[in-house]
Amino acid sequence: MKVIPVYIEAGITGFESPAAEYKELRLSLEELLLQHPNATFFGLANGRSMEGRGIFDGDVLVVDRAEKVTNNAVIVANFNGCFVCKIIDTKNALLLSASGEHAPMPITDADSFQIEGVVNVSFRLHKKIPSLLSCLV
């Protein structure tokens, strides 16, 4: 629930702030970046195969499980016991990379495969935060 805090005022004050009536909630990054907060989790990108879609090593991926999966979407999947971030080709059952160096990976019956969610948002910290990088160890 979003609540605008209203502070109790004692009787003795100076001039009331002329801006008091215009007070609104401050901008929230969550509100901007999370479509379905309840169904969303964060992960850390590891590898360079998605650079063509603007996802670099060490970026934070915002994974939305409630978003509809469409052809050519950037998704996170459980592929044989690992979380991977790829482009899904729903027509040919392929996992595509966004770089010239990685061949498309076919999804076969022998693979264990589940789509975990869609990545519509990722973000990068230009000054690295040590705690975040420790996930990669």
Among 33, 34, 35, 65, indicate the residue that binds another protein (CB under 8 A): 65
Among 84, 96, 107, 118, indicate the residue that binds another protein (CB under 8 A): 84
In the range 11-30, which residues lie near another protein by CB under 8 A? none
Is there a contact between 55 and 74 (Cβ–Cβ < 8 Å)?
yes
Q: For residue 129, with 0-12 CB atoms within 10 Å meaning exposed, 13-18 middle and 19 or more buried, which class applies?
A: exposed
Closest among 123, 118, 113 to 36, alpha carbons compared: 118
Stretch binding another protein (CB under 8 A), from 7-15, 18-26, 73-81, 88-96 = 73-81
Helix, coil or strand: residue 77: strand
Task: Give φ, ψ of 135 to 5 degrees.
Answer: -65, -25
Residue of 28, 49, 91, 131 with catalytic role: 49
User: Binding to another protein by residue 123, rule CB under 8 A?
Assistant: no
Which residues sit at the interface with another protein, rule CB under 8 A? 36, 38-39, 41-50, 55, 57, 60-61, 63, 65-66, 76, 78, 81-86, 97, 112, 114, 116, 129, 131-132, 134-136
